[in-house]
Amino acid sequence: MHSIVEKLNFIKKEVNEIVDKKQLKTIPQIIVVTKTFPAEKIIPLLSSGHIHFGENKIQEAEKKWIDLKNKYKPYLHMVGKLQSNKAKKAVKLFDFIHSLDNEKLALKLHESEIELNKKAKYFIQVNIAKETQKSGIMLNELYEFYIYCIKKLSLNVIGLMCLPPANIDPKDFFSLLKNEGEKLKTKDLSMGMSSDYKEAIVNGSTFLRLGSIIMGQRKSI
Residue of 202, 131, 190, 204 lying closest to 159 (CA atoms): 190
The Cα–Cα gap between 203 and 182 comes to 12
8 binds ligand PLP (CB under 6 A): no
Nearer to ligand PLP, 44 or 111 (CB): 44
State which of residues 80, 136, 181, 204 lies at the interface with ligand PLP (CB under 6 A).
80
First to last CA, the chain: 30
194 binds ligand PLP (CB under 6 A): yes
Per-residue binding letters, 91-130, with ligand PLP (x by CB under 6 A)? ----------------------------------------
- Give the binding range for ligand PLP (CB under 6 A) out of 2-10, 87-95, 172-180, 204-212: 204-212
CB-CB contact of 74 with 85 (8 Å) = no
77 φ, ψ (degrees, to nearest 5) = -115, 125
For the chain, give the number of residues. Answer: 221
33 binds ligand PLP (CB under 6 A): yes
Tally of helices (H runs) and strands (E runs) in the chain: 9, 8
- Looking at beta carbons, which residue is closest to ligand PLP? 211
For binding to ligand PLP (CB under 6 A), which residues are involved? 33, 35, 56, 79-80, 163, 193-195, 209-213
